[in-house]
Amino acid sequence: MNKLENKVVLVTGSGRGLGRAIALELCKAGAVVYVTDIKIVDAEESVAIIKKDLPAEQQRNVFSVALDVREEKMAEEVIKSIVEIQGKIDILINNAGVNVTATVEDLSVAEWDRTVSTILRGAYVMSHTVFPVMKKQGGGNIINIVSSLAKRVKENSPAYVASKWGLQGLSQLLYMQGRKYGIKVTALSPAGMRTSLLLDRFPNLDQSKIMDPAEVAKVVRFVLELPEEIAIPDLFMMSTKEETWP
């Protein structure tokens, strides 16, 4: 049996981009996937697109749910509902994120708060909520989608950089705390990808030099299919054609 078959997965921010690609890849692996997004219309669109790539018998295993990861009560209700229906939650992918291109002088405090609360607070809210569930069931996986900008600093992304550096540290702490309960935590840091998060801000970017999110999704699947005794706490990946590293 496929290692991911019938595993219950929640992917945040999966209404488009990398989150959608991850949801599709894990559905193909036989998982039961909850596509969540702050915009339910985007989540529903993802589910419709994903179902087109799945055999009929697997189409019933993908669901759309509205979720604002910043809201603790909402997160609790979503997790509780999934556990009541499925009896468990095996995998959490903390992918939700936003970015604003602006200098320190130009980035408003409101934009800072929205970015940090979505990326860093959101990942904590979700991990905080799912941790006791995974402890009780004897294990699970959390993958935090960090960024190459947690390995370096780039101008004009102050809130995003700070959030991702914080998420890198949070991932390490979660790994240390979770391993004694069978909870594996991975900080996955991809460099540039062909997603709207990047292309909406830089429409003239040479797309041949950045990654296809579908390939990053395959790496997520690889991490989740590792033997139980193997963990990858930290993973950085980038296109061989990208010229921004080191």
Answer whether residue 1 is part of any domain: no
Average pLDDT, the chain: 94
CA 104 to chain CA centroid, nearest Å? 26
241-to-67, 95, 208 alpha-carbon distances in Å:
36, 24, 8
- Give all strands (DSSP E) within 75-133, no chain letters: 91-94
**β-pair type (32-37, 62-66):** parallel
Pick from 35, 12, 9, 224: nearest CA to 125: 12
Q: Does residue 51 sit within a domain?
A: yes
Is 140 in contact with 183 (CB distance < 8 Å)? yes
Please report whether residue 210 resides in a domain. yes
71-130 pLDDT tens trace: 999 999 999 999 999 999 999 999 999 989 899 999 999 999 999 999 999 999 999 999
pTM flag (> 0.75): yes
Q: Is residue 243 part of a domain?
A: no
Q: Which domain holds residue 124?
A: 8-237
- What confidence tens digit (pLDDT) does each residue in 36-78 have? 999 999 999 999 999 999 999 999 999 999 999 999 999 999 9
Decide if 246 is inside a domain: no
**What is the token pair recorded at 96?**
């939700």
What type of residue is 210?
Answer: I
Kindly report the CATH number assigned to the domain that includes residue 229: 3.40.50.720
DSSP string of 111-124, one letter each residue: HHHHHHIIIIIHHH
The number of folded domains in the chain is 1
Distance of alpha carbon 124 from alpha carbon 118, whole angstroms: 10
108 three-state secondary structure:
coil
Is 2 inside a domain boundary?
A: no
Catalytic positions: 147, 160, 164
Contacts by 196-200 with C-beta closer than 8 Å and gap 24+?
Answer: 196/16, 196/17, 197/17, 197/18, 197/97, 197/98, 197/99
CB 123 within 8 A of CB 170: yes
Residue 245 in domain: no
> Does residue 112 sit within a domain?
yes
Residue 181 pLDDT more than 70? yes
What's phi and psi for 94, nearest 5 deg?
-85, 95
